Structure 1
Amino acid sequence: MSRCKRAAIAILGGCVALWIVAAGTAWLHWPIPARLAGFGAGLTVGGVLVAAMLWFSPGGLHDMATPALTRRYYREFAPPMVAYVLVMLVWKPLLHSIGLPWLRVAVALLPSLLVFLAIRAIGRYVRDSDELQRRIELESVGLAAGVVSTVYMTAGFLQSAKMIAVGATAAMLWVFPALCLCYGVARIVIARRYA
């Protein structure tokens, strides 16, 4: 069994364990704060998506790059993404509790800085990869950008026709996560074509 499939099974096991804990607390009628319940639900859904992508992936990062490049990528990518997740847990309440305009701007832009650092790590990984891996990555990004742009524009047309109502803040905040999800799916499909 490949390393990706083993990782997918481990992640699914964690999701099942989290679901069992949630079901047990509901069955025992223990009160759970809504924020914690939402975080658990998001973690479970995200875990299932990551596990599905790993399961269908033709190989992991270790199979596509040199060990030194892989280590550097994880060292540069993981800290800003972990920090991003942690910041997003407290970002909105913190933003509403700050009165000073300059500090409010700094807190509002902190997630963007962390995303920029993650994108920098991705760019360095792609730049230093071999030609085939670079082609896979760039085709995946291009396809994901096209899909997300088309969906965003389609939603704009539907909103102009008063068929849907999506808040601008929510729509703008979900562009990057949607791009990441589409990129992950596109990368699996394109990498399987070259495998």
Structure 2
Amino acid sequence: MPRFSQKQYEGRVLVAMALYTLCMLVEWPLVRTVVTLPLKCLLALVPVLPMIYVIVLMARRIRESDELERQMHLIGLGISTAVVGAASLIGGFLSVANVLKLDGSILIWVFPGLMFCYGLARWQVARRYGMGAFCESDAGASKYALFVLAGGVLLLVAWLGRATLDGVRSGFLCGAGAGLMALGAALFVAQRRRRARSGE
């Protein structure tokens, strides 16, 4: 069975995230207009499907990694679970004590929070082992371009839909787009510095 490469993983994750964004822009607004409970539940859960696919992809990527990569993945996942779990516990206690007013919509941010903390933790662990967050030969040379392109697409969608998008969706698109473009720029600068140090 051929190894599941970083390039294959990233391509499939990008497709899943594009489907998720499309669901949030096109399908999610219909949830508020539907009155029948079964259809409302079905429409509300459609955006979850691409995220479940991303989780399956992550599990496959970790399973097919070598021992060192697997250890870095699992340490990153452990740290992110602890951080998000502690933040959820603190938020829960503050909400029960009526210090914070939190509703159920906060749960939507648990998975993105886990992924963000996982990425940071895995990057720190990889640096400790003297590696990048991914193998350069496996990931391809223009990774930064994918992030810049994805961020640009989100910002373009936000601009084109500015007349019809509500504040939450517009803010989500602008924030995610700007974040992806900033990450792409940071990867570009890091790649240039690496090449300058190695004398390429």
- Length-normalised TM-score, structure 2: 0.59
Quickly say closer, same or farther: Cα 1:163–1:100, change in 2 above 3 A.
closer
Give the Cα separation in 2 of the matches to 1:96 and 1:68: 40
Distance, in Å, in 2 between the alignment partners of 1:67 and 1:134 is: 14
Q: CA deviation at 1:79?
A: 1.5
- In structure 1, what is the Cα distance between the partners aligned to 2:93 and 2:11? 41
Question: Aligned Cα RMSD in Å?
Answer: 1.9
CA shift in 2, pair 1:132/1:158, >3 Å: same
Which of 136, 143, 150 matches 2:79?
A: 143
For residues 64-109 of structure 1, the C-alpha deviation after alignment (integer angstroms, 9 at most, x for no partner) is xx98612321343222111011211234421112233332222111
How many residues are paired up? 129
- Contact kept, 8 Å, 1:159 with 1:165, in 2: the verdict is yes
Q: Structure 2: which 5+ residue stretches go unaligned?
A: 131-200
The alpha-carbon deviation at position 179 of structure 1 amounts to 0.8
| 2:84 counterpart of 1:113 | no
What residue is the counterpart of 1:128 in the other structure?
64
Q: Is the 8 A contact 1:98 1:104 kept in 2?
A: yes
- Partner AA of 1:176 in structure 2: F
Contact 2:62 2:73 in 1 (8 A): yes
Q: Helix, strand or coil for the counterpart of 2:47?
A: helix
- Deviation of residue 129 (structure 1)? 1.0
Task: Percent identity, please.
Answer: 34
Secondary structure class of the residue paired with 1:182: helix
Residue 183 of structure 1 is matched in structure 2 by 118
Contact 2:95 2:102 in 1 (8 A): yes
